[in-house]
Structure 1
C-alpha cells in the first residue's frame, strides 16, 4: 500500500471542483446568450434529447401513441415546440418508459423540461447522499461532468442512475424493495442486464423474482394504457437501433462502448461484435466474482455500475451520470484501506471523461470510453481481490467524505 504524499491533496480537491463548476456555469450562460430561437450555434435545440420525450407525450395524449415510433410523425410533434426543428431523433423506448413520460406534454416545453430534470436530479442527489456525505463530496458531485452532460442533453441519466443506485443500496437489507427498483430499471433494459448476474451470484432469489415480476407488470401496464401497437412498434424499432449503431447512423462520438471504439478504428462489424462480446464476458465474470466472493458493498456496487457500460454496445454519454456512484464508493474504500498506485488518477479520469469523450473522439477518432471504464473496473476488481473477507463497507448509512493528506 502506498502512503506517500499525493498530488491530489485536500487543497487541490477543494479547488478543482470549484474551477470546473465555474467553467460549466460560464459555458451554460454563454449558450443562453448566444442561443437563437432555442437553438445553439450548432443548431442543437434547448434540452436536446428532451424534445423527443415531449413530442412522444404529445402524440400519446392526443391518442396517437404509436406515431412516436414513426420518425416523420414524431418530428411534426417536435416542431410544435420549435417550428424550425429538423433533427431526426428516433424513439426507441419501451411502453414502460413511455408511460413514465406520458404526462410531460400537459406542460409547456420549458416547464416540462425543468420539471423532469429537477425531479430526477432530486432522486439522484438523495441516492448519492445515502452513499456519501460532506461538503467536499457535494462539490465534487456538483462539478461532475456526467451530471452536466445529462442536464444539457435533457436525458434520463439521473433517473436510471437513481434507480440502479437505490437497488444496490437496498439489495441486502430490503430484498423486495431492491427487486422493485431493478424491475423499474427495465425502462432501459440494456442498463439492467448485470443485475441478474449479481443476484444469482449471491442467491438473492426473492429480489430476482420480484424484479422480473415488476418489469413484466410495468411493461403490461404501459402496453394496456398506450395500446398493443406501441409494443409492436417498439420491437420493430429495435432493428433500426441495431442497424444505425452498426453503420454510424448514431453519433459514435457520444457512445463509450467497446463496439463503437472498434468501429471508429475501422473494424468490420462482425469483428467488432466478436471483440465486444469477449470484453462483455470478461466484465460479467468480474461482476460475478466480486459479488460471489467479496462482501464489501461499496466494491459490489462499483463493479456492477461500471461493468454495465462494458456489456451493452448501446450506451451514451448522458448515461455516464451513473459514474458518480462508483467514484464515490471507490473513493470511500480508498480512504478506508489506503490507496494503490494509480487509483486516484483513474478516479479523476472517470470524473472528467464524460465531458472530454466527445472532443477527444472528434480530434483523434478514438473513443476513450472502454479505456477509462476498463481501468475503473480493474481498479474495483483488484481491490475486491484483497478484501474478499473484508466487511468494511457501510451498513446502509452514508459515510462522511474526507480527503486524506
Structure 2
C-alpha cells in the first residue's frame, strides 16, 4: 500500500488516534486508571454473561452460544459417545434439545484433545461451567499479555477491548489460544522447552499454530519443534486410547463435511476475520474467494519469513508471527483476535521507530474495527448473515502494513519522522 493510498485513507483525526492512545503511557497513574476501568468492564461482562448462560431471570429462554456447544461435547465425553458430535445432523439435534427448540447449528471440527480438555466442565451446570472456563482462561491470557506488553498494557487493552468483549460474550476459547501463543513467544528466547509445550498445546486449534511453526523453522529452533511434536504425538495417543481410533475418522469426516459449510452459509461469515469471508461476502464466488485466501495466507507466511530475516528485533518478528497466525485459515473468527493483541503488544516497542503516526493510527483503528464489527452486528435483530465481513478486510490491510514495514528500505527507518532502532534490539520480555 503506497503513501498516496495511506494518506487518502487517513486524515488528521486518524493520526490523533495514535497520539491519544500513546498519551496514556505518559504516567504510571494514568496507565493504572485505564487498566482498572477496562478490567472492571470485562468483569461486568463476565458477570452478565454468566447469568445469561445460567438462564437466570429474563434469559430463562435463550438461544445457544459457542460455550453451549463446549458444554454439550463435555457431557458426551462422559456418556461415551463423543464421536457423535462430529456428525452435523446428530450434533444439531443435541443442540436443539439443549435449547429446548429450534436453534442455530454449530458444527464441531475440534481435535479430540480439545474434547478431553472440556470434559471436566460437564461436572458443573452450564452457567458455573462458563464462569469457570472464562475466568480461568481470561486470567491466564491477561497475565500473559501484561508480561509481554509491560508499560504498554493499558494501550493494548484499549485497542483489543472489543475483541475481548466478543470472546467473553460467546464463551469461546480465544483467551486460551491467545495465552498459549503468548507463552510461546515469551518463552522462546530462553526456555525453548516451555515454548514447545505451549505450541504443542495448540493442537486444540492447529491452524492458528502454522505461522509459529514456520518461524521456528526459519530461526532453527529445533528443540522447540521437537517438544511441540512430542506433545502432539503424546496427546494424540492418549486421545486414541480413551476414545478409540475411530475418533480420528469421525474428525476427518467432519472436516470434509464442514468444507462445504462456508459456501452454504452455516457459519456466521460477517463475524469472520479471514480474507475468504471478506471476499465471499463482497460477492466473489466461493472458489475465487478461496483462491484469494490462499494468496493472503502465502503473504502472511512471507511476512513471518521476512520478520525472521530482517525484522527490526526478535520481538517484532514474533509479533508479526502472532498477527499472521489469524490470517492463514479461511475459518477464523473475531474471537480469535486475542492472538492479534499478543502480536501488537510484541510489536509496539518497535512501531514508534519504524512506523509513522498515520501508520500506527491505521493499525490501531483496524484492530479496533475488527473486534467491534461482529460485536455490534451480533446485537442486531436480523440481517447479519448478509452483512459484509469487514473484519476480514481490516485484517488484510493490517497484513499490508506489516509487509510495508518489513520491506521498507533501511533509509526509511532512519528518517526524521521515525527515528532509529538498532537491528539487534530485543523486545521479548524474559
| Unpaired segments ≥5 residues, structure 2 | 1-11, 25-29, 378-382, 414-420
Mapped contact 1:253–1:358 kept (Cα < 8 A): no
Residue of structure 2 in register with 1:369 after alignment: 391
Cα distance change, pair 148–41 in 1 and its aligned pair in 2 (3 A): farther
1:127 aligns with 2:160: no
Residue of structure 1 in register with 2:426 after alignment: 393
Question: Which of these residues, 259, 263, 273, is aligned with residue 246 of structure 1?
Answer: 263
CA distance in 2, matches of 1:81, 1:140: 35
TM-score, normalized by length of structure 1? 0.84
CA distance in 2, matches of 1:163, 1:251: 25
Residue of structure 2 in register with 1:316 after alignment: 333
Q: Return the offset for 1:180.
A: 1.3
Q: Does the residue aligned with 2:85 lie in a helix, a strand or coil?
A: helix
Superimposed CA distance per residue, residues 352-388 of structure 1 (whole angstroms, 9 cap, x where no aligned partner)? 4212246579498432223322332333344445479
Q: Does the residue aligned with 2:337 lie in a helix, a strand or coil?
A: helix
The count of aligned residue pairs is 392
Mapped contact 1:265–1:366 kept (Cα < 8 A): yes
CA distance in 2, matches of 1:138, 1:7: 14
Mapped contact 2:16–2:361 kept (Cα < 8 A): no
CA distance in 2, matches of 1:318, 1:27: 15
Q: Return the offset for 1:257.
A: 0.8
Q: Return the offset for 1:37.
A: 4.7
Cα distance change, pair 330–40 in 1 and its aligned pair in 2 (3 A): farther
Superimposed CA distance per residue, residues 177-203 of structure 1 (whole angstroms, 9 cap, x where no aligned partner)? 111111110111111111221111111
Cα distance change, pair 351–232 in 1 and its aligned pair in 2 (3 A): same
Question: Which of these residues, 63, 71, 77, is aligned with residue 44 of structure 1?
Answer: 63
Cα distance change, pair 77–138 in 1 and its aligned pair in 2 (3 A): farther
CA distance in 2, matches of 1:96, 1:225: 10
After superposition, residues 256-295 of structure 1 pair within 5 angstroms as 256-294=273-311
Range that drifts further, 324-333 or 161-170: 324-333
| Unpaired segments ≥5 residues, structure 1 | 398-405
RMSD of aligned alpha carbons: 3.5
1:195 aligns with 2:212: yes
Mapped contact 1:17–1:139 kept (Cα < 8 A): no
TM-score, normalized by length of structure 2? 0.79
Residue of structure 1 in register with 2:313 after alignment: 296
After superposition, residues 327-342 of structure 1 pair within 5 angstroms as 327-335=344-352, 339-342=356-359
Cα distance change, pair 44–327 in 1 and its aligned pair in 2 (3 A): farther
Mapped contact 2:105–2:266 kept (Cα < 8 A): no
